[in-house]
Amino acid sequence: MLGTLDTKGDEYAYVRDRVAEAAVDVVVVDAGILGEPRFLPDITRQEVAAAAGEDVHALAAARDRSRAIEAMGRGAAEIVRRLHAEGRLDAIGALGGTGGTAIATRAMRALPIGVPKLMVSTVASGDTSHYVGTTDVTMMHSVVDVSGINRISARIFTNAARALAGLAAGTESPRVTEKPLIAASMWGVTTPCVTTARERLEGLGYDVLVFHQTGIGGRSMEELIAAGLVDGVLDATPTELADELLGGIWSSGPERLETAGRLGIPQVVSLGALDVIAISSTGLPDQLPERFRDRPIYIHDELMVATRATPDECRELAAVIARKLNAASGPTVLFVPLRGLSLLTTEGQALYDAEADDALISTLRELIDRSAVELHEADTDVNDPEFALAMATRLHELVTG
């Protein structure tokens, strides 16, 4: 357990004791700065600060909260990495408000995926993307502030303790056969395509990791590729590029669709949902961004609606795709479905636009460097099973050489 024992010591002691009742050992790391810890930790704040190359007394004297949080988060990350390497860490848990959450989750993100990570936080019901990042941190809402033991917090903290004890006791990884690894991109409106392709690739002996393209999904996929863990990429759904270029809510950043090409990893790419922009539905219709007000709208749920890229925007998107793929240093294939890029944009559906489709495809034909990118066009939509099978088969051919 990692946290600030000066301000949250009583709460940490309560959870520590509940975990210990389950016959699980607890190592407590103190990341506090100002007051004295409420009980003696196993690893002191002095050790945490020193791991970041800092002096805890100097941090306290400076009275700079942001600097202290950054330094103690950095030191805590080093401490937990060390504990894990020594075999002393089977799970990690923490309690806190914004500062404590920032420190603890920075340490959690330093641990490998698969190491259980539980953060009981006052901010768990809001936007937690900054705290979770691209890792597997589990956020539990504290409901009330982490301030004392009362009838509500006692129940929440006890649940957290039971969860931590179970996570720590059950950390043996499942036995799986090592297989070549494929990273694939999917959004709800390309699910039939990616499901068919995934099943085909699994039948050919691959493990397929599918990433949901909601901003963080694309970033997670690019990080996995950058880590050198995948043998091939099926980027069937680069829809986040539309949000990045056109102001949608689920951008994964300007580097999307670049990592595999830069590292020379075989990639098969399509245009799934590239012409769809995700927009927050808060305040609809009056607060819809002005540029989207005269466009067709598809209501997905109470949080998100989708609209369609215009012909001019599709030309911009085509230029982005062409630039990224032309720069690839490894085998790169682009599959273009001529009759629709998603379940929403085929003929007769809410966001169908033949002019925009033509703008996207004709610009790609013009800009794709055929000496660098293998181009396949198919007279079907992206979710046609034969289209998906063709992509999977071609990727298999590229990976096996």
- From 295, 320, 294, select the one nearest 306 (Cα to Cα): 295
Q: Which pLDDT score, from 0 to 100, does residue 26 have? A: 97
Structural domain spans, the chain: 2-169, 181-400
Which class would CATH give 181-400?
Answer: alpha beta
Q: Which pLDDT score, from 0 to 100, does residue 173 have? A: 65
Low-confidence ranges of the chain (pLDDT < 50): none
Q: Which pLDDT score, from 0 to 100, does residue 289 have? A: 76
pTM over 0.85: no
* 2-169 CATH fold: Rossmann fold (3.40.50)
The answer to whether the 2-169 and 181-400 domains have the same CATH topology is yes
